[in-house]
Amino acid sequence: MDEKKGKILVVDDNEDILFALKLLLRQHVERIETLSGPEQIPAMMQKEDWDVILLDMNFTKDAISGQEGFDALSVILDLDPNAVVVFITAYGDAEKAVKAIKSGATDFVLKPWQNEKILATINSAVNLHRSKVQAASLKIRQQEISAVLDQPFTDFIGNSPEMQEVFRTIKKVAATDANVLILGENGTGKELVARAIYRNSIRKEEVFISVDLGSIAETLFESELFGHEKGAFTDAHKMKQGRFEIASGGTLFLDEIGNLSYPLQSKLLTVIERQEVVRVGATKPLPVDVRLICATNINIHEDVSKGNFRQDLLYRINTVEIHLPPLRDRTGDIPILADHFLKIYSKKYKKSIRNIQSSAIKKLNQYQWPGNVRELQHAIERAVIMSDSTSLGAEDFMLSNDHSASFDGNDFGTYNLDEIEKAVINKVMKQNQGNISQASSQLGLTRTSLYRRMEKHGL
């Protein structure tokens, strides 16, 4: 090893071994750190990426079987599947060497070692790790390129049977001009479905207009959707085209259509049936040609039976219905969704977070996700912002066990993640009368993580 290359972590319970390796390797590697026990490995891996971990196979409580070393190897590979581990032991034999390699180790070195041999082994291991990192990076880039080229619904991620059925329906309906009604809870991605239909339709070269009907005041409904003439009312200082007119030739997405009052439903039905609008203050109708896509989070069929929604309007807007499943019904998609959002927010916030640990995935799978994919996205973003490590663990996710409430209600008066975290920690500490152990358990954090966050927020 002619030049200093590689960051090496050595784990051995023998202080003489640690001293000898540090003395030898510091002349040949960029950095070397030593640990006297495997229990400290996770903390060191979260602080930094190591090219090679030299791991003793036998520690004090188990002198010859090597099981402690294999247990530590399992922890290391869970934290970083690309980690390069070289076992070192004074009790090596062919059987243990084969088991070590099969378990995920890269190589096997016997104590006492020959300096030239261990240096050559470490040099090869460093090169292997860097090749793995480069290959992983290239794989991610290739996956992103392939997704753009091959995936017709690039905003969607899901391998579950439920989502595959949604994809098939989108593909079938997109090629037609049929009106579509998308049903699903808040946060399931109804607008993403609408945009996917538009991008794969014969109108994809024309305009896509999205309207949140729930945010339009009833008094402004006609003006916003159908337009108005100059002087039609007090503030009508100039003529304004409505959304139907602007979207003519293209696609109009009406979100939260279930929020419309009965009188407004009648006005909308008239426009859909006649395919023409009359601006407020005008008398002459204007022809419009729109592909209509609607969405709602309510049980619209139940509203029809209760007389709250016009059945004839429902017939007009739901030539085809697409039902989006809640995230709790497709938990198999959580790992790939979480990984997708991790890549997005690690890049956005310039964090070197490699992966989400299996313990964290288990926690995410067990949660009910009242806010669905949108809530998962926010949870990943918050975890990335708050994390100081290179992987996300279970303690990085603050999930409420009270499924009757969600962030859609936002009792905090803010969407600032730092302020929300501070408020939640403060509330839980008061509930537990300052008991750190109880509070950390309720928050899903370790005591250390809670202390760190309290210090950050000055609590």
Domain 161-325 homologous superfamily, CATH: P-loop containing nucleotide triphosphate hydrolases (3.40.50.300)
Rounded CA separation 413/222 (Å): 32
- Give 455's pLDDT tier (boundaries 50, 70, 90): confident
Whole-number pLDDT of residue 269? 96
- Give the pLDDT score at 1: 46
Q: Which of 59-68, 253-262, 294-303 has the lowest mean pLDDT?
A: 59-68
Average pLDDT for 318-337: 94
Report how far residue 431's alpha carbon sits from residue 390's, in angstroms, rounded to the nearest whole number.
Answer: 32
Closest CA to 71 of 94, 98, 37: 37
pLDDT at 14: 86
Write the pLDDT tens digit of every residue in 142-182.
554 444 334 444 557 888 999 999 999 999 999 999 999 99
Same fold yes or no, 161-325 and 328-457: no
Q: Residue ranges per domain, the chain? A: 7-142, 161-325, 328-457
Contact 369, 376 (CB under 8 A): yes
3 state SS of 231: coil
Q: In this model, does residue 37 exceed pLDDT 50?
A: yes
Task: Render pLDDT for 409-448 as a digit per residue (tens, 0 to 9).
Answer: 455 556 667 778 888 888 888 777 777 777 877 787 776 6
Of 38-42, 381-385, 398-402, 410-414, least confident by mean pLDDT is 410-414
pLDDT digits (tens, 9 = 90+) for 361-372: 999 999 999 889
A 10 A CB-CB count for 18 gives: 20
Q: Can you give the pLDDT at residue 409?
A: 45
Percent of the chain clearing pLDDT 90 (strictly above): 52
User: How many Cα atoms are found within 13 Å in the side-chain-facing hemisphere of 130?
Assistant: 10
- C-beta separation of 209 from 253 below 8 A: yes
pLDDT at 407 over 50: no
When pLDDT is cut at 50, 70 and 90, the band that residue 403 belongs to is very low
Query: What is the CATH T-level fold of the domain 7-142, as seen in this structure?
Result: Rossmann fold (3.40.50)
CATH number belonging to the domain at 328-457, selected among 3.40.718.10, 1.10.8.60, 3.40.50.2300, 3.40.50.300 = 1.10.8.60
Average pLDDT, the chain: 85
What value does the mean pLDDT take over residues 343-348?
Answer: 92
Q: What is the mean pLDDT of residues 308-334?
A: 94
Please tell me which residue, 430 or 84, carries the higher pLDDT value: 84
Res. 406 pLDDT band, cuts 50 70 90? very low
Q: Would you state the pLDDT for residue 56?
A: 87
**pLDDT over 90 at 49, yes or no:** no
Report pLDDT for 252. 95
Identity (one letter) of the amino acid at 396?
D
Q: Which residue has the higher pLDDT, 48 or 123?
A: 123
Tally of CA atoms within 13 A in the half-sphere of 455 that contains its CB: 6
**C-beta separation of 9 from 52 below 8 A:** yes
Q: Can you give the pLDDT at residue 88? A: 85
pLDDT at 71 over 50: yes
